[in-house]
Structure 1
Amino acid sequence: MKNGETKEMRIRALERTDLKNIHIIDNKAETMRLWFEEPYESLDELTSLYDKHIHDTHERRFVIDLEGVFAGIVELVSIDYIHRNCEIQIIITDKYSGLGYAQQALKKGVDYAFHTLNMYKVYLWVDVDNKKAVHIYNKLGFSIEGTIKQQFFAGGKYHDSYFMGILKEDYIHQKSN
């Protein structure tokens, strides 16, 4: 991509053939630190997890697809059909970071949560030091509902985390303005 050229972005269901790209992401220490997870996972383990969760109705995992190129993932996890809420997570590969795809993919993930799954609230956790992500979440209408002290251990230390959320009615109202 040169001179501001952008590719058409869509999200699609995660397929077994995408696991090799997920494996690369899952073993990158800096990326996993932002997800508060250990950067350690074999491809066999990832495949086993995929097989275990393929029919799990409490999660939806999407690939961020740029005209056939893997650019990251957006996930809806901990889907609660009684209380109608879920957590959203996203990772953009380094190559496509900073180009606006994270915001587009998050919007598509939130749209799916509200308009397909009929969720009432979408929430997320983010390291208070991840200013770039907090900015993107704020632009989409997420608000900080609380700060959790030393919630996650990653990169050899404890991190404070924001708990951020958006309600369906606020999201719809924001889209209409």
Structure 2
Amino acid sequence: MPPETLQGQSQMDSEKIILRPIEDTDVDQLHGLLNDSNNQQLVGGSVIPRSRNEVLQWLQAKRSAGDVCQFAIETGGVFCGYVQLVSINRMDGHATLGININRQFQRKGVGRLALQQLHDFARNKLLLRKILLYVRSDNQPAVKLYLDLGYQKAGTLTQHVKTVSGYVGVEIMEFML
């Protein structure tokens, strides 16, 4: 399904979203996503431009890490972004969430559906009991989404991330699977 058909939709059916392993053929899409400085600032990532080769090295490092599960988010054959669990601690049963969605797919229900699928995977396949995340306090759409999904605020790191207009806080949130 081409991206423009999603722009008028406010919600999507879960059948329209799939999580799949990220493949080398996704590198060009990842390159664009990881070099979108506005988006990267909101997800707390690096705003330093990365070459295609650096993105491929980043992907290979994630693949080889024993404590990472990373998935492409796709709808209708179109790459929408990725979701990942990092710092997976099987002994204590928790991991840290990361999600990054192309701007054209934000606020369309893609993130919500991807997270619901990731929750099921974490609970049923990884046998985790809790997911943690860090989100900028000023990223209100993301904070609202996480609260709507049942995440609870566990704390705030005040004036934690430097932006062009000063420092902003970061909310620490957790979700009991």
Whether the TM-score (by the shorter chain) exceeds 0.5 is: yes
- Report what 1:34 is aligned to: 42
Q: Is the 8 A contact 1:37 1:154 kept in 2?
A: no
Q: Which runs of 5+ in 1 are unaligned?
A: 169-177
Letter of the 1:38 partner, please give it: S
TM-score for the superposition, normalised by structure 1: 0.87
Which secondary structure state, in structure 2, belongs to the residue aligned with residue 54 of structure 1? helix
Which secondary structure state, in structure 2, belongs to the residue aligned with residue 52 of structure 1? helix
Which secondary structure state, in structure 2, belongs to the residue aligned with residue 30 of structure 1? helix
Task: Identify if the C-alpha distance between structure 1 residues 127 and 57 changes in structure 2 by more than 3 Å, giving closer, same or farther.
Answer: same
Q: Is the 8 A contact 1:86 1:123 kept in 2?
A: yes
User: After alignment, is 64-73 or 29-38 more displaced?
Assistant: 29-38
TM-superposed deviation, 1:52 = 3.0
Q: Which runs of 5+ in 2 are unaligned?
A: none
Taking CA–CA contacts closer than 8 Å with sequence separation of 6 or more, which of the two structures ends up with the larger relative contact order?
Answer: 2
For 2:80 and 2:151, the matched residues in 1 are separated by: 23
- Report what 2:111 is aligned to: 102
Letter of the 1:17 partner, please give it: T
Q: How does 1:54-133 map to 2 (within 5 A)?
A: 54-133=63-142
- Report what 1:52 is aligned to: 61
For 1:142 and 1:158, the matched residues in 2 are separated by: 24
- Report what 1:164 is aligned to: 173
For 1:94 and 1:37, the matched residues in 2 are separated by: 15
For 2:121 and 2:33, the matched residues in 1 are separated by: 23
Q: Provide the aligned length of Structure 1 versus Structure 2.
A: 168
Alignment identity in percent?
26
TM-score for the superposition, normalised by structure 2: 0.87
TM-superposed deviation, 1:69 = 0.5
For 2:131 and 2:75, the matched residues in 1 are separated by: 25
- Report what 2:145 is aligned to: 136
Task: Identify if the C-alpha distance between structure 1 residues 127 and 53 changes in structure 2 by more than 3 Å, giving closer, same or farther.
Answer: closer
- Report what 1:18 is aligned to: 26
Q: CA RMSD in A?
A: 1.8
Which secondary structure state, in structure 2, belongs to the residue aligned with residue 122 of structure 1? strand
Q: Is the 8 A contact 1:65 1:72 kept in 2?
A: yes
Q: How does 1:145-164 map to 2 (within 5 A)?
A: 145-155=154-164, 157-164=166-173
TM-superposed deviation, 1:155 = 4.1
Q: Is the 8 A contact 1:88 1:109 kept in 2?
A: no
Task: Identify if the C-alpha distance between structure 1 residues 42 and 154 changes in structure 2 by more than 3 Å, giving closer, same or farther.
Answer: farther
